[in-house]
């Protein structure tokens, strides 16, 4: 989904076409649409009205929380999604079933690590990449701090996307230290929930690109 030498950048919680275009023009690799309980939730029809205006090279990712395989398939088809981000209690078996049912779909799995061991255990998921978001499930709209760098010590970051608490001011340090496969941001580039700030998006992408170093 992104060149091996570059960091995958996803701007999530898109609710407006202008915000999607701002993400694309800034150099982000993907835009995310949330189809679950959220201040940034959109319907399949609303997302489809945005994606039809985007270049095919832009990855369209749908965020789901404990949705059925049938529901995910319906939204994928309606919106024209390239990938899905599973953000609930989905099991490794569910991930496997989804990949078998829709083999051309990129599948991301989000985990909520509370310790370094939780990060290490995430490799059990046969997803294309694992999102690490330390957000408290009991307070999904609360403030969250970035994942402690120490939790990643001795663990390959080749399949990890770091999310939660990121913003233009801190993402560069994280990319330099961890060199993750990707980073994901939503609230950190907003003027208010669901409304992106173009200047913040540009600053975020620029910070990532300036901090990344060529991978072997």
Q: What does the pLDDT look like over 11-67, one tens digit per residue?
A: 999 999 999 999 999 999 999 999 998 889 999 999 999 999 998 889 999 999 999
Contact of 54 with 24, CB cutoff 8 Å: yes
Instruction: Show me where the domains of the chain are located.
Output: 8-184+200-211
- Residues for the chain: how many in total? 216
Output phi, psi for 153, to 5 deg. Answer: -65, 130
pTM as predicted: 0.88
pLDDT band at 157 (very low <50, low <70, confident <90, very high): low
Annotated catalytic residue within 19, 82, 133, 184: 133
User: In the predicted model, what is the mean pLDDT of residues 132-150?
Assistant: 64
Which residues contact residue 1 at a Cβ distance below 8 angstroms, ignoring those fewer than 6 apart?
8, 29, 30, 59, 82, 83, 106, 128
Q: What is the pLDDT of residue 164?
A: 83
154 touches 193 (CB < 8 A): no
How far is it, in rounded angstroms, from Cα 52 to Cα 58?
A: 11
12 an active-site residue? yes
Residue of 12, 19, 82, 184 with catalytic role: 12
**End-to-end Cα distance, the chain:** 18
133 given a catalytic annotation: yes
Q: Which CATH number fits domain 8-184+200-211: 3.60.15.10, 3.10.150.10, 3.20.20.70, 2.60.120.620?
A: 3.20.20.70
């Amino acid at each position: 989904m992104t060149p091996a030498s570059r960091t995958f950048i996803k701007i999530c919680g898109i609710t407006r076409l202008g915000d999607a275009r701002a993400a694309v023009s800034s150099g982000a690799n993907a835009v995310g649409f949330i189809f679950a309980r959220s201040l940034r939730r959109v319907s399949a029809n609303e997302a489809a009205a945005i994606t039809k205006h985007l270049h095919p090279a832009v990855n369209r990712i749908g965020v789901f929380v404990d949705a059925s395989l049938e529901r995910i398939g319906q939204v994928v088809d309606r919106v024209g999604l390239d990938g899905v981000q599973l953000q609930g209690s989905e099991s490794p078996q569910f991930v496997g079933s989804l990949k078998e049912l829709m083999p051309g779909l990129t599948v991301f799995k989000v985990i909520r690590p509370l310790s370094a061991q939780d990060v290490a255990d995430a490799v059990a998921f046969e997803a294309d990449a694992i999102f690490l978001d330390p957000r408290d499930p009991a307070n999904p709209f609360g403030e969250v701090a970035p994942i402690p760098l120490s939790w990643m010590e001795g663990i390959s970051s080749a399949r990890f996307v770091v999310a939660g608490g990121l913003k233009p001011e801190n993402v560069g340090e994280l990319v330099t230290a961890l060199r993750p496969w990707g980073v994901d941001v939503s609230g950190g580039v907003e003027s208010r929930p669901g409304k992106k700030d173009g200047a913040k998006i540009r600053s975020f992408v620029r910070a990532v690109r300036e901090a990344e170093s060529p991978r072997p």
